[in-house]
Amino acid sequence: WDRTGLIPPELLRDLGAEARLCAEVPEQYGGWGLSSLHSGVYTAHAGSLCSSLRSVMTSQGMAAWTIQRLGTAEQSAGLLPRLTGGALAAVGFSEPGAGSDLAAMTTTVRRDGDTVVIDGHKKWVTAAHYADLLVVVGRHED
C-alpha cells in the first residue's frame, strides 16, 4: 500500500476483527485488554513499520477509549464489540481555526428530546472516509 498511498479497507477490517486496532479494549468486549503502556508499545512498533497504520490504530483506540470512559455501559456493550469485530472508527475533534486544540473547540452538543443535536464543523478527521462509526467531540453545557 506504500505505492498506492492507501491501506486497503478490507485489510483494516481484517486487522480490526482480530482486535489488533484497539488492543486496550477489555477482553469481555473482544479486545486484548492491554494496559495503556503495553498498547503504546504495540502501537509504536506498528508505527515503526507503517506510520499510516499507526494513525488508524490511534483513531480506533481514541474512539474505543472515549466510548469506554465517557459512554454508558450500554454504549460500551453495543459499540466496543463492533470495534473489536472489524468495524472501523474515526474521531472528529479537529476544527477549522482550532486544529486539535480542544480548548478552542466551538462545536456544541445538546439534547432535543430523544435527539442529540451537534452544531459545528469538523475537519481533518483521520479515517472518516471509510469509518463505520464516527465519534464526534463537542462541548455540552453540563
Domain range summary for the chain, segments of one domain joined by +: 9-136
Beta bridge partners of 117: 110
Half-sphere exposure of 18 (CA within 13 A, CB side): 6
Please tell us whether the domain made up of 9-136 is placed in CATH 3.40.190.10. no
pLDDT tens digits for the chain (142 residues)? 667 778 888 899 999 999 999 999 999 999 999 999 999 999 999 999 988 899 889 999 999 999 999 999 999 999 999 999 999 999 999 999 999 999 999 999 999 999 999 999 999 998 888 899 999 999 998 7
Helix H or strand E segment including 64: helix 51-70
Rounded Cα distance between 127 and 142, Å, is 29
Contact in structure between 83 and 20 (CB atoms under 8 Å):
no
State the pTM of this model: 0.85
